[in-house]
Amino acid sequence: MVSRREFIQAGLAGSALLAGSGLGSIGRLAAQQRLSEAELLRFEPLGNVTLIHVTDLHAQLVPIYFREPSINLGVGEAKGLVPHITGKDFLSHYKIPAGSPMAYALTSEDFAALARNYGRMGGFDRIARVVKSIRAERGDRCLLLDGGDTWTNSWTSLQTKAADVVEAMNLLKPDAMTGHWEFTLGADRVKEITDSLAFPFLAQNVRESEFEDRVFEPQKMFERGGVKVAVIGQAYPYTGIANPRWMFPKWTFSLKDDDVQKEVDAARAAGAQLVVLLSHNGFDIDRKMAGRVKGIDVILTAHTHDALPEAVQVGKTLLVATGSHGKFVSRLDLDVDKSGVKGFRYRLIPIFSDAITPDAEMAALVKKVRAPFEADLGRVLGKTDGLLYRRGNFQGSLDDVFTDAMLQVRDAEIALSPGVRWGASLIPGQDITFEDVTNACAMTYPNCYRTSMKGSQLKAILEDIGDNIFNPDPYAQGGGDMVRLGGLTFTVDPYQTSGRRISNLKLARNGQALDAGRDYTVAGWASINQGTEGPPIWDVVSTYLQQKKVITPRPLDAVKVVGAG
Amino acid sequence: MSNKPTPRVRVPANAKKDEIIEIKTLISHEMESGQRRSADGKTIPRKIIHTFTAAFNGKVFFEATWHPSVSANPYQSMFFRASQSGEFAFSWKDDDGSVYESKAKLTVA
Amino acid sequence: MAQRAAQTRRETLIAGMASFAAAAIAPSLAFADAAAVEAEIKKLYGDKKAEAGKIKLDVPQIAENGLVVPINVEVESPMTAADHVKSVHVFADGNPLPGIVSYKFTPESGRAAASARMRLAQTQNIVCIAEMADGKLFTAKSEVKVTIGGCGG
């Protein structure tokens, strides 16, 4: 087999040139000149099948900034393993030069400065260019697979009930997809869209809740490059917990090795030479599943937004992690014969929007679907002095904007903001537009409630969510990152057991300990309960930004992490 | 919810001799656990289906006792080894003495 | 029905993100514990020892909905007149009452397997015990986490 590392290093040869000149000090023009499209797409083809993977696009039709996490702790068996290494450790693990394009794309190191050099990433028109170029080279060997979290979380998607993204994806012509946030469009809308698609929405683990009938096709067999390829769909197994179940009350989701094994066995019995799990489990669940289900050749991972420059091998199974928000497209070439996979070559292709030529057809479509909303999207609400981002296990600077907005506009003592992994970043000096705000909160259950909660309830909520993130067994983890808090500071020990991770809860305004028996006024959004009342969160944040005008991020010291060493 | 509980049964109409078939049943019923209190603080009295039986040609081959923790609209699946043609009789016994029944024919080839 | 379940839940819910399934249960009532489950088993089988094995207890690691948690039990057995599973009892150690379901199987069952759905008030263990035709006992245990949920991902 070809060594992946050698190949990655070869692919990044251009980037090494950039390293010597110091972090972020190289000019934007010079940086872009070194980032040629040909270099980004360079790939020595291998074998008879090419898998192209996109995932977690979160309806981001146009290029964005997205800072990868600086804190992404691994627990249990995942401790210290990718994707749970970040920053400088990540760079040294993959031998990526600091300040290089891949350092910018894959880590949080020196992000604001590098963002000025290397610019925005993603965009459906650039993705289309890359996909078309691979297809032009590899012809009928290609399978384009979409891992889900594609249709939701932009303003235009929310306004069109995902019609904009669906139209754009149809132009990209995927061969199959699976999903998670898609379900927050509601069961009827999901069925309406999936019934209209020219490709299957695959989900072996979604069933009708009464008699457990299938809702979607579990798998599909393709023939590519003369190879029979089975693609099995695995939707996010905890959608019914992490998101409002009332939006799809007759569907039930599951995480069962046995059910996946049955699908793999059925695929093999039907002659599959290559078995691919198009998964939205999240990386740690997939890594565990790869060790428990026999006969999966490739797992295309999603959900946890990890971007890894090499495939991870678990036994005979390859795991690919393609990142999020359109920052990357994965290309995995496989040499497959009757006895299975003989070799592979992988590249995580970074979508540098300034280096990759937009595909004209997709660019026109994106322009068309955005046109009715341009005035809203471009409305400037304020400006930021510093870097604003969300992604990471704990509160980011963009989350501070959301929790501060709720405290002020909803006149609350404590604010709760969900730890979703999506939401684009903003760099220092950038105007904050309505599009920027909605990229971090456009969803179908946006109401910002104002209610009363006892201190003990708040502690219980934090512990419960803490266990969903830091339970040492990935199969017992659910949802996203830790809930974000306004008005409250705390200490967390991720390596403690359930109910014992959170301590030292204090009110930020006066340092007083949270009183278990006292009622506090709490504002929050993204409640999974039906009938939650309150203005949509984007109105709350817009109001706040218009009052505040300039955001100056403060040190992120509300959460103290202990025991992580 | 004051509607009469309605059973629904999914059982194959045909089977090969000695084939093991799966039977799935559902019945609409609130399964009031006796553990809840109404708004005025009074305990809502227990009213559940406590026994489910599955019989074939008059002989019970599977029986379930349900406790108050069984979910509303109780679901029960089980298996049966098809040996001859005949009729299934499923019955659900309520705390209030009611018995709800459903029948289904099976042809064994 | 799903409508109604949501309604019942909402009435009892803590506003906002919280939705403890336990809230649906009168707060003054005591919960069972591991000892209560042991006592139930002792009532059935005295001091007779149960072995691990033979039972496949399939419950979710995280309950999607504490009011409707699927439970599938299958006991390995040829299900012949001489060698079959007579009964299976399922208990939970964190509900107000320990009993969940009890099954009686016969050789005509073909497979000693059954699925049902249960309410779980909180994170707890599910314990099942199977009695074979020869009187041997087998047991299995599995934890189900009941979570408040939310926070997307």
Q: Among A539-543, B31-35, C146-150, which stretch is predicted with the lowest mean pLDDT?
A: C146-150
Q: How many residues are listed for chain C in this entry?
A: 153
Mean pLDDT, to the nearest integer, of C42-47? 96
Judge whether A231 and A220 are in contact, CB under 8 Å. yes
What one-letter code names the amino acid at A353? S
Please tell me the number of Cα atoms within 13 Å of A51 on its side-chain side.
38
**Contacts (Cβ under 8 Å, ≥6 apart) of C153:** A180, A236, A238, A242, A282, A303, A420, A421, A478, A479, A480
Return the residue of B nearest to C101 by Cα.
B66
What's phi and psi for C29, nearest 5 deg? -75, 145
**Contacts (Cβ under 8 Å, ≥6 apart) of C47:** none
Shortest distance between the Cα of B62 and any Cα of chain C, in A, equals 5
Tokens 């979604």 locate to: A206
Regarding predicted confidence, which is higher, C31 or A10?
C31
Shortest distance between the Cα of A450 and any Cα of chain C, in A, equals 8
Q: How confident is the model at residue B39 (pLDDT cuts 50, 70, 90)?
A: confident
Mean pLDDT, to the nearest integer, of C121-150? 94
Angle at A543 between CA A539 and CA A548, to 5 degrees: 145
Instruction: Please indicate, yes or no, whether residues A272 and A337 belong to a single structural domain of this protein.
Output: yes
A202 inside domain: yes
d(CA A528, CA C151): 8
Strand ranges in chain C using DSSP code E only, listed in sequence order: 50-52, 55-58, 69-75, 85-92, 99-105, 112-118, 124-132, 137-144
Of the candidates A330, A346, A349, A318, the residue with the CA atom closest to the CA atom of residue A144: A330
A20 inside domain: no
Instruction: Please indicate, yes or no, whether residues A434 and A329 belong to a single structural domain of this protein.
Output: no
d(CA A229, CA A267): 9
Of the candidates A33, A13, A9, the residue with the CA atom closest to the CA atom of residue A117: A33
Listed residues A368, A400, A424: the one ending a domain: A368
B55 inside domain: yes
User: C143 - beta bridge partners?
Assistant: C125
- Say how many domains are in chain A: 2
Per the CB < 8 Å rule, is B69 touching C108?
no
Residue A374 Rama label (left phi>0; alpha psi -120 to 50; beta): alpha
Instruction: Please indicate, yes or no, whether residues A344 and A479 belong to a single structural domain of this protein.
Output: no
Of the candidates A281, A318, A324, A280, the residue with the CA atom closest to the CA atom of residue A296: A318
Is A210 near chain B, with CB under 8 Å? yes
d(CA A112, CA A115): 5
**Contacts (Cβ under 8 Å, ≥6 apart) of A149:** A55, A56, A57, A58, A179, A180, A181, A182, A280, A302, A303, A324, A422
Chain A residues in contact with C64 (beta carbon < 8 A): 238, 240-241, 245, 252-254
Of the candidates A66, A204, A191, the residue with the CA atom closest to the CA atom of residue A123: A66
Shortest distance between the Cα of A211 and any Cα of chain B, in A, equals 7
Of the candidates A331, A381, A225, A285, the residue with the CA atom closest to the CA atom of residue A77: A285
Is B59 near chain C, with CB under 8 Å? yes
DSSP-derived pairing of the beta strands B14-15 and A49-54:
unpaired
- The answer to whether the peptide bond before residue A358 is cis (omega within 30 degrees of 0) is no
Could you say which of B43, B67, B76 has the minimum Cβ distance to residue C100? Answer: B67
Judge whether A100 and A12 are in contact, CB under 8 Å. yes
B1 inside domain: no
Could you say which of C2, C16, C19 has the minimum Cβ distance to residue A451? Answer: C16
Could you say which of B61, B62, B70 has the minimum Cβ distance to residue C118? Answer: B70
Judge whether C138 and C55 are in contact, CB under 8 Å. yes
| Domain CATH number, residue A552 | 3.90.780.10
Listed residues A302, A336, A368: the one ending a domain: A368
A70 inside domain: no
Residue A71, SS3?
Answer: coil
Per the CB < 8 Å rule, is C61 touching A246?
no
Chain C residues in contact with A419 (beta carbon < 8 A): 151-152
d(CA A549, CA A498): 41
What integer pLDDT is reported at residue A564 of this predicted model? 66
Of the candidates A127, A53, A59, A147, the residue with the CA atom closest to the CA atom of residue A423: A59
Instruction: Please indicate, yes or no, whether residues A414 and A393 belong to a single structural domain of this protein.
Output: yes
Q: How many residues are listed for chain B in this entry?
A: 109
What integer pLDDT is reported at residue A32 of this predicted model? 61
Is B76 near chain C, with CB under 8 Å? yes
Instruction: Please indicate, yes or no, whether residues A355 and A414 belong to a single structural domain of this protein.
Output: no
pLDDT 10s digit of each residue in chain A, 565 long? 433 333 333 344 444 334 433 434 455 666 666 789 999 999 999 999 999 999 999 999 999 999 999 999 999 999 999 999 999 999 999 999 999 999 999 999 999 999 999 999 999 999 999 999 999 999 999 999 999 999 999 999 999 999 999 999 999 999 999 999 999 999 999 999 999 999 999 999 999 999 999 999 999 999 999 999 999 999 999 999 999 999 999 999 999 999 999 999 999 999 999 999 999 999 999 999 999 999 999 999 999 999 999 999 999 999 999 999 999 999 999 999 999 999 999 999 999 999 999 999 999 999 999 999 999 999 999 999 999 999 999 999 999 999 999 999 999 999 999 999 999 999 999 999 999 999 999 999 999 999 999 999 999 999 999 999 999 999 999 889 999 999 999 999 999 999 999 999 999 999 999 999 999 999 999 999 999 999 999 999 999 999 999 999 999 999 999 996 5
What integer pLDDT is reported at residue A239 of this predicted model? 96
Instruction: Please indicate, yes or no, whether residues A229 and A342 belong to a single structural domain of this protein.
Output: yes
Judge whether C89 and C56 are in contact, CB under 8 Å. no
Return the residue of C nearest to A249 by Cα.
C2
| Domain CATH number, residue A228 | 3.60.21.10
B2 inside domain: no
Per the CB < 8 Å rule, is C6 touching A416?
no
Chain B residues in contact with C29 (beta carbon < 8 A): 35
What part of C 57-76 touches A (C-beta under 8 Å)?
A: 58, 60-65, 68, 70
B70 inside domain: yes
B17 inside domain: yes
What integer pLDDT is reported at residue C17 of this predicted model? 39
Which domains occur in chain C, in start order?
A: 30-144 (2.60.40.2470)
Is B10 near chain C, with CB under 8 Å? no
Could you say which of B37, B61, B71 has the minimum Cβ distance to residue C106? Answer: B61
A248 inside domain: yes
- Say how many domains are in chain B: 1
User: Which chains share 3+ C-beta pairs under 8 angstroms with A?
Assistant: B, C
Is C26 near chain A, with CB under 8 Å? no
Could you say which of A461, A530, A532 has the minimum Cβ distance to residue C6? Answer: A530
Judge whether A471 and A288 are in contact, CB under 8 Å. no
Regarding predicted confidence, which is higher, B39 or A395?
A395
| Domain CATH number, residue B35 | 2.60.40.10
Mean pLDDT, to the nearest integer, of B78-82? 98
Cβ-Cβ contacts under 8 Å between B and C: the total is 106
Chain A residues in contact with B26 (beta carbon < 8 A): 210-211
Instruction: Please indicate, yes or no, whether residues A407 and A476 belong to a single structural domain of this protein.
Output: yes
A509 inside domain: yes
Listed residues A368, A395, A417: the one ending a domain: A368
Domain with A258, as residue range(s), is 35-64+120-368
Instruction: Please indicate, yes or no, whether residues A435 and A314 belong to a single structural domain of this protein.
Output: no
What integer pLDDT is reported at residue C25 of this predicted model? 46
Of the candidates A68, A65, A99, A105, the residue with the CA atom closest to the CA atom of residue A86: A68
Instruction: Please indicate, yes or no, whether residues A355 and A331 belong to a single structural domain of this protein.
Output: yes
What one-letter code names the amino acid at B48? I
B101 inside domain: yes
d(CA A444, CA A188): 14
What integer pLDDT is reported at residue A418 of this predicted model? 96
Per the CB < 8 Å rule, is C108 touching B80?
yes
Instruction: Please indicate, yes or no, whether residues A317 and A450 belong to a single structural domain of this protein.
Output: no
Per the CB < 8 Å rule, is C18 touching A460?
yes
* Encoded tokens for A368: 């068309």
* Encoded tokens for A55: 């995932």
Is A213 near chain B, with CB under 8 Å? no
DSSP-derived pairing of the beta strands A142-146 and A49-54:
parallel
ipTM of the complex: 0.95
Chain A residues in contact with C150 (beta carbon < 8 A): 242, 418, 465, 479, 526-528
Shortest distance between the Cα of C130 and any Cα of chain B, in A, equals 14
Domain with B76, as residue range(s), is 7-108
What integer pLDDT is reported at residue C22 of this predicted model? 36
A234 inside domain: yes
Instruction: Please indicate, yes or no, whether residues A229 and A153 belong to a single structural domain of this protein.
Output: yes
Per the CB < 8 Å rule, is C153 touching A282?
yes
- DSSP string covering A389-410: ---SSS--HHHHHHHHHHHHHT
What one-letter code names the amino acid at A425? S
Return the residue of B nearest to A209 by Cα.
B75
d(CA C19, CA B97): 35
Shortest distance between the Cα of C46 and any Cα of chain A, in A, equals 34
B72 inside domain: yes
A24 inside domain: no
B38 inside domain: yes
- DSSP string covering A531-545: T--S-BHHHHHHHHH
What integer pLDDT is reported at residue A31 of this predicted model? 65
